[in-house]
């Protein structure tokens, strides 16, 4: 699975974005270590905080299926800016790995790659 293929999967996922409020269609494709791909899209709600980001839809689907070994994550959205993951999604990814390639794409040929450790250098971890 190469970078462009994962971006393509994220782009396809963005087609089903439910985003009547922001009109911002985001798609995510998460590749797990066993070679499976889980996709997600953003799902908005009239009660704005009830909405969900594309990345977490994909990640929660993987976790629900017992796949918590993560390889890489592509995020796709068309627009002027690269669709960097929000802070909450960075924290949620960090729960499962501190080493995952994150591909941030505004087209299939225009993307940047970061590791989660760069995007969230100091993560919150629960301890008592």
Q: Which residues bind ligand THU (CB under 6 A)?
A: 19, 22, 24, 26, 42, 44, 51, 53-55, 85-86, 89
Write down the least CB distance from residue 51 to ligand THU, Å.
5
Write down the least CB distance from residue 76 to ligand THU, Å.
10
Instruction: Determine phi and psi for 27, rounding to 5 degrees.
Output: -125, 150
Q: Which is nearer to ligand THU, 12 or 51 (CB)?
A: 51
Q: Contact 58/28 with Cβ under 8 angstroms?
A: yes
Q: Which of 55, 71, 80, 125 is catalytic?
A: 55
Q: Contact 105/76 with Cβ under 8 angstroms?
A: yes
- Active site includes 55? yes
Structure tokens at 15: 């087609």
Centroid of chain to Cα 51: 15
Q: Could you list the active site residues? A: 55
């Amino acid at each position: 699975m190469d970078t462009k293929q994962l971006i393509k999967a994220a782009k396809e996922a963005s087609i089903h974005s439910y985003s009547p409020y922001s009109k911002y269609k985001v798609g995510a494709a998460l590749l797990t270590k066993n070679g499976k791909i889980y996709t997600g899209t953003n799902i908005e709600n009239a009660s704005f905080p009830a909405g969900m980001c594309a990345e977490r839809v994909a990640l929660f689907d993987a976790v629900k299926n017992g796949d918590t070994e993560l390889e890489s994550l592509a995020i796709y959205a068309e627009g002027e800016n690269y669709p960097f993951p929000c802070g909450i999604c960075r924290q949620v990814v960090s729960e499962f790995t501190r080493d995952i390639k994150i591909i941030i794409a505004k087209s299939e040929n225009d993307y940047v790659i970061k590791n989660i450790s760069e995007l969230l250098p100091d993560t919150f971890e629960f301890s008592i």
